[in-house]
Amino acid sequence: MSSTTLIPPKGVFVPSPTFFDLAASSLKGSLQPPVDTETQINHSIFLAQAGITGITLLGSTGEAVHLTRGERRHLVSTVRKGLDKAGYPDYPLMAGVLTNGELEETLQWLDDYHKAGAQWGLVLTPGYFGPAVSQEGLIEWYKIVADRSPIPILVYNYPGVTNGVQVLPETYRVLAQHPRIVGCKMSHGNVSHHVQVSLDPAIDHDKFRVYSGFGNQLGPIVAFGAAGVIDGMAAFYPKTVVRLNELMQKGGFNPEERAEIHRLQFAVSQGEEFVMRYGVLGIREAVCRVAGFGNLEGGRLPLRGKLPEGAWDKAKGLFLEEIQKLESSL
């Protein structure tokens, strides 16, 4: 790492699902099916070819908490080597750090990711104790992690998996001053927080990037300075999300572009309903059915298997048909 801290680029990152072999045929005495690294590489190349800015491995969608330390390190290393071999050297890779807040363990994850070739760590807010976690405690915790991490970090605020802990805009303002804290991912519906942090004049926005975890917020937040999204739907409909982001980052829309933005954002927002309703299982199933990667029986307990009978057809009719047409036209 050079003395100049690496800043993640603006654009669309994909929180990639982790692929597993078929459970029934691969357990052979093991408690859980093994990671399917070949599919992981192929899906990563598919995303790079579709114009996706970068990939987030082993976040919440990537089920990092279901993998061992060795499996996590091997997965990141394998994807890095696979992308290099496919002609994508230095392709942006974030890796998720999902601990309950123990500092030594958190730094261990980051050190492993550094050695495996990830450029950034996406560090989940420690939320085991929920409302008892103060903003002052979060600031001190993140500063200690950033001081000692071998790679720059982003603050990952996902209240749905951290007992409702919210990182407040004034806390981001403090953390953004740290030279090794280079951004945040907000996986919640408070658009005002995205906008406040993206427009805060006390933050150097060339050194601190704001991303949403939801594509249904892409247009509104990028219009007010956010860097982009780390969006699960882009794992199976990447071109549509990329095109929407390109138009929003460009700005200065003519009437035709404005009309296209409206069509794209409507479709992306509808597709995001599927992601929010069905979560990790839904993303894995959509990646298999739409993009052709993985299988419908893999996964690790307690998230093994596929959606309930009939759920996919219902979701396709409700949410996905319009975006499928757009994706096919791009």
Distance CA 317, CA 330 (A): 21
Q: Which residues is 121 bridged to in the sheet?
A: 95, 153
Question: Taking every pair of C-alpha atoms in the chain, what is the biggest distance, in angstroms?
Answer: 61
Q: Write the DSSP symbol of residue 4.
A: S
Q: Hey, is 231 helix, strand or coil?
A: coil
Distance CA 114, CA 167 (A): 26
**Cα distance between the two ends of the chain:** 37
Give the catalytic positions in this structure.
156, 185
Helices (H), the chain: 23-26, 37-49, 69-85, 103-116, 135-148, 169-175, 191-199, 218-222, 238-250, 255-286, 311-315, 321-329
Q: Write the DSSP symbol of residue 10.
A: S
Give the dihedral sign, CA 66/79/33/285: positive
CB 219 within 8 A of CB 248: yes
What residues contact 101, with CB distance under 8 A and at least 6 apart? 126, 127, 128, 141
Distance CA 240, CA 246 (A): 10
Give the C-alpha distances (Å, rounded to integers) separating 36 from 40, 43, 112, 288: 6, 11, 20, 13
Q: Which residues is 124 bridged to in the sheet?
A: 156
Question: What torsion do the CA atoms of 20, 23, 26, 28 make, to the nearest 10 degrees?
Answer: 130
Give the C-alpha distances (Å, rounded to integers) separating 265 from 191, 193, 242, 245, 257: 15, 20, 11, 10, 12
- Which residue type sits at 85? K
